[in-house]
Structure 1
Amino acid sequence: MPAEIAVTGLGLVTPAGHTAEENWTALCRGRSLAAADPELAGLPVDFSCQVPGLDAAGELGRPLARRTDRFIQFALVAARRAVADAGLGCEEGVGGDGGPRAGGLGEPGERVGVVLGVGSNSLSTYVTEFGHLGSGRPERVSPLALPRSVPSMAAGEVALDLGARGPNFTTASACASGATALGVARDLLRSGTCDIVLAGGSESARSRMTATCFTRMRALSRRRDEPALASRPFDARRDGFVLGEGAAVLVLERAADARARRARVRAVLRGYGAGADAHHPVAPHPHGDGAVRAITAALRDAGCGPGDIGHINAHGTGTPLNDAAEAAALARVFGDTTPPVTAAKGVIGHALGAAGAVQAAYTVLALSHGMVPPVANFEGQDGDHKLDIVAGRPRPAAGAGISCSFGFGGQNAVLLLTAD
Structure 2
Amino acid sequence: MNRSDIVITGVGVVSSIGLGREAFTRSLLNATSGVIELVDSTDGDRNATARFRFDNGNSGDVHQESPVEIGAPITDFDPKLYVKPRKALKVMCREIQTSFAASQMAIEDAGLTNLLPAEPAEQAKKSGRIAVDRIGAVFGSEMLYGDPEELADAFAACKTEDNEIDKSKFGFAAMRSITPLWMLKYLPNMPACHVGIAVNSHGPNNSLTVGDVSGPNAVLESCGYLKRGIADVMIAAAAGSRMNTTRSMFTEDQPLATAVDPVSRSSRPHAKDATGIVRGEGAASLILETAESAANGGRKPLAIVCGMASRFVPSKAFDSGEFTTSSDADAGRGSSRAIEVAIQAALKDAGLTSNDIGLVVGHAMGDPVIDAAEAEAIAKALPDVPVTLPTGLLGHTGAATGMLGFIAAVVAAQSGQTPPVAHAADCRHGLPIADKAQSLSSKYVLAVSHTSHGSATAIVVSSS
Q: Which moved more, 1:307-316 or 1:62-71?
A: 62-71
1:348 to 387, 390, 394: 394
Q: Cα deviations across residues 89-113 of structure 1 (Å, max 9, x unaligned)?
A: 25899xxxxxxxxxx9920122111
Q: Cα deviations across residues 357-386 of structure 1 (Å, max 9, x unaligned)?
A: 11121211111111011123333333xx41
For residues 359 and 30 of structure 1, the distance between their equivalents in structure 2, rounded to whole angstroms, comes to: 14
1:403 to 432, 447, 461: 447
User: For residue 100 of structure 1, what is the aligned residue in structure 2?
Assistant: none
2:96 to 62, 72, 84: 72
Question: Residue type of the partner of 1:315?
Answer: H
User: For residue 372 of structure 1, what is the aligned residue in structure 2?
Assistant: 418
1:174 to 200, 211, 214: 211
- Aligned-pair distance for 1:129? 4.2
CA change 1:145–1:173 in 2 (3 A) is same
Whether 2:145 is the aligned partner of 1:123: answer: yes
User: For residue 348 of structure 2, what is the aligned residue in structure 1?
Assistant: 300
Whether 2:404 is the aligned partner of 1:361: answer: no
- Aligned-pair distance for 1:82? 0.8
Give structure 1 stretches of 5+ with no counterpart.
94-103
Q: In 1, are the aligned partners of 2:314 and 2:335 still within 8 Å (CA)?
A: no
User: For residue 81 of structure 1, what is the aligned residue in structure 2?
Assistant: 105
2:198 to 149, 161, 164: 161
Question: Residue type of the partner of 2:51?
Answer: L
CA change 1:278–1:211 in 2 (3 A) is same
SS of match in other structure, 1:175: helix
SS of match in other structure, 1:208: coil
Question: Residue type of the partner of 1:122?
Answer: L
CA change 1:31–1:105 in 2 (3 A) is farther
- Aligned-pair distance for 1:306? 0.6
1:51 to 66, 71, 74: 74
SS of match in other structure, 1:228: helix
- Aligned-pair distance for 1:318? 1.2
For residues 13 and 317 of structure 1, the distance between their equivalents in structure 2, rounded to whole angstroms, comes to: 19
Q: In 1, are the aligned partners of 2:333 and 2:453 still within 8 Å (CA)?
A: no
- Aligned-pair distance for 1:303? 0.9
For residues 124 and 191 of structure 1, the distance between their equivalents in structure 2, rounded to whole angstroms, comes to: 38
SS of match in other structure, 2:137: strand
For residues 307 and 19 of structure 1, the distance between their equivalents in structure 2, rounded to whole angstroms, comes to: 32
| Number of aligned residue pairs | 402
Q: In 1, are the aligned partners of 2:446 and 2:458 still within 8 Å (CA)?
A: yes
Q: How does 1:286-325 map to 2 (within 5 A)?
A: 288-325=336-373
Q: Which moved more, 1:105-114 or 1:188-197?
A: 105-114
- Aligned-pair distance for 1:348? 1.3
SS of match in other structure, 2:236: strand
For residues 131 and 404 of structure 1, the distance between their equivalents in structure 2, rounded to whole angstroms, comes to: 41
Q: In 1, are the aligned partners of 2:409 and 2:445 still within 8 Å (CA)?
A: yes
- Aligned-pair distance for 1:40? 7.3
CA change 1:165–1:38 in 2 (3 A) is farther
User: For residue 377 of structure 2, what is the aligned residue in structure 1?
Assistant: 329
Question: Residue type of the partner of 1:43?
Answer: R
* Percent of paired sites with the same residue: 26
Q: In 2, are the aligned partners of 1:234 and 1:316 still within 8 Å (CA)?
A: yes
User: For residue 20 of structure 1, what is the aligned residue in structure 2?
Assistant: 21
Q: Cα deviations across residues 31-72 of structure 1 (Å, max 9, x unaligned)?
A: 422113357775136321011221112332531222211111
1:268 to 304, 319, 325: 304
Q: In 2, are the aligned partners of 1:32 and 1:377 still within 8 Å (CA)?
A: no
User: For residue 418 of structure 1, what is the aligned residue in structure 2?
Assistant: 462
Give structure 2 stretches of 5+ with no counterpart.
43-49, 53-65, 118-126, 159-172, 324-330
- Aligned-pair distance for 1:132? 4.0
Question: Residue type of the partner of 2:76?
Answer: G
1:258 to 275, 279, 294: 294
CA change 1:203–1:287 in 2 (3 A) is closer
For residues 5 and 128 of structure 1, the distance between their equivalents in structure 2, rounded to whole angstroms, comes to: 45
CA change 1:224–1:65 in 2 (3 A) is farther
User: For residue 191 of structure 1, what is the aligned residue in structure 2?
Assistant: 228
- Aligned-pair distance for 1:286? 6.6
**Runs in 1 of length 4+ with deviation above 4 angstroms?**
38-42, 90-93, 282-287
- Aligned-pair distance for 1:225? 7.2
Question: Residue type of the partner of 1:326?
Answer: E
For residues 386 and 261 of structure 2, the distance between their equivalents in structure 1, rounded to whole angstroms, comes to: 31
Q: In 2, are the aligned partners of 1:90 and 1:105 still within 8 Å (CA)?
A: no
Question: Residue type of the partner of 2:144?
Answer: S
For residues 145 and 233 of structure 1, the distance between their equivalents in structure 2, rounded to whole angstroms, comes to: 37
For residues 252 and 349 of structure 1, the distance between their equivalents in structure 2, rounded to whole angstroms, comes to: 26
Q: In 2, are the aligned partners of 1:8 and 1:252 still within 8 Å (CA)?
A: yes
Question: Residue type of the partner of 1:167?
Answer: P
